[in-house]
């Protein structure tokens, strides 16, 4: 009698999922062609990024603002790096995708912090400032403390999202490794669906929270191109987020062919699109995140000297980690901030 063994492997993956595509022209397979294009796009993105970031590091006059800008403009490059790696090694793509997705969440928090610094440069006066900003109802009635409550609520939204998204990414990696989430199944398991919906919903929700902060306090951010910064970065986040969601749905619907395989469609094409998008959005950052607004800013003494020191400061994530801790202590601390 044959025993039926329960397999923990994901079901319903097409029979062509793991085959190598036949050459399209000469010895060039579809995977090899898009890999070449992806490398070209990555090279262009890298050059554009260096053209943006080097002037910032050389004129690192407002560290608390420019570290956030550094993180934001690094986002497309991070996506391009891992997109090229995914095309090069299809089998590792599902694991590699989590890293840029996680970085995107941290960059969103950096954009929020950038706006906060635009409004209140001095961290220790932050809550005092928001407590003094009047909030008027439509009938003209002033509500004391309402603006501070709004600031705290938006801060909690952004940094709770950052913490929860990090946890979701870790859970997703565990489910992927244990085959508990089957993205190729025509009947995806509940865990995979829940994580995808939570990631998309959480990203959209925090984007709306940052938009609300920008709209409410835009009068305190004159000549900072706050809205263009919001549009260029948020558009990249929305495009990549929706692209992930759509292609995750398509994974269970496509089959592929002998020349353009299942993985070419489900991994290669979205990764190539990401590389192209990285070029376009990094180029757009020259209009919104260029260092020229810091060129004429003079400081008597620099707290950070040299490009290497500026780079280390920009890469240090402690302000974001403290931001999570700060969000947890609103009920227990006086009206001041130490972030």
Across all residues in the chain, what is the average pLDDT?
Answer: 83
Secondary structure class of 142 (helix, strand, coil): strand
* Residue among 225, 218, 215, 214 nearest 291 (CA): 225
Alpha helices in the chain (DSSP H): 30-58, 63-88, 93-96, 98-119, 126-132, 146-177, 190-216, 226-250, 262-263, 269-288, 306-315, 318-327
pLDDT of the residue at 337? 44
pTM metric for this prediction: 0.85
- Rounded to the nearest 10 degrees, what angle do helices 306-315 and 63-88 cross at? 70
* Band (5; pLDDT cuts 50, 70, 90): very low
pLDDT of the residue at 250? 80
Tell me: pLDDT of 21 over 80: no
Tell me what the mean pLDDT of segment 107-119 comes to. 94
pLDDT of the residue at 17? 61
Tell me what the mean pLDDT of segment 52-66 comes to. 92
pLDDT of the residue at 259? 83
Burial of 303 (0-12, 13-18, 19+ CB in 10 A): exposed
pLDDT of the residue at 119? 93
Secondary structure class of 24 (helix, strand, coil): coil
pLDDT of the residue at 141? 59
Q: What are phi and psi of 180, to 5 degrees?
A: -85, -15
Other C-beta atoms closer than 10 Å to the C-beta of 208 total: 12
């Amino acid at each position: 009698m044959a025993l039926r063994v329960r397999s923990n492997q994901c079901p319903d993956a097409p029979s062509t999922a793991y085959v190598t595509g036949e050459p399209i022209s000469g010895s060039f397979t579809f995977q090899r062609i898009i890999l070449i294009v992806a490398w070209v796009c990555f090279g262009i993105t890298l050059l554009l990024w260096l053209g943006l970031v080097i002037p910032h590091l050389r004129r690192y006059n407002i560290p608390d603002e420019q570290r956030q800008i550094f993180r934001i403009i690094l986002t497309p490059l991070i996506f391009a790096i891992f997109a090229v790696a995914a095309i090069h090694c299809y089998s590792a793509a599902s694991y590699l995708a989590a890293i840029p997705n996680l970085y995107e969440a941290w960059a969103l928090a950096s954009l929020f912090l950038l706006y906060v610094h635009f409004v209140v440069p001095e961290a220790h006066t932050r809550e005092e400032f928001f407590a003094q900003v009047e909030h008027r109802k439509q009938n003209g009635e002033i509500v004391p403390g309402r603006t501070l409550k709004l600031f705290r609520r938006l801060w909690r939204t952004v940094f709770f999202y950052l913490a929860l998204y990090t946890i979701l990414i870790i859970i997703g990696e565990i489910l992927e490794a244990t085959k508990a989430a089957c993205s190729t199944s025509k009947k995806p398991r509940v865990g995979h669906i829940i994580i995808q919906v939570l990631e998309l919903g959480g990203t959209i929700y925090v984007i709306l929270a940052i938009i609300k902060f920008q709209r409410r306090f835009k009068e305190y951010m004159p000549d900072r191109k706050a809205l263009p910064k919001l549009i260029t970065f948020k558009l990249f986040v929305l495009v990549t987020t929706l692209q992930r969601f759509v292609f995750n749905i398509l994974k269970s619907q496509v089959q592929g062919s002998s020349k353009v395989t299942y993985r070419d469609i489900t991994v290669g094409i979205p990764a190539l699109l990401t590389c192209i998008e990285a070029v376009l959005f990094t180029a757009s950052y020259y209009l919104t995140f260029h260092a020229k607004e810091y060129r004429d800013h003079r400081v008597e003494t620099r707290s950070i000297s040299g490009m290497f020191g500026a780079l280390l400061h920009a890469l240090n994530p402690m302000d974001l980690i403290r931001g999570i801790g700060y969000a947890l202590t609103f009920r227990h601390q006086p009206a001041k901030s130490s972030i």
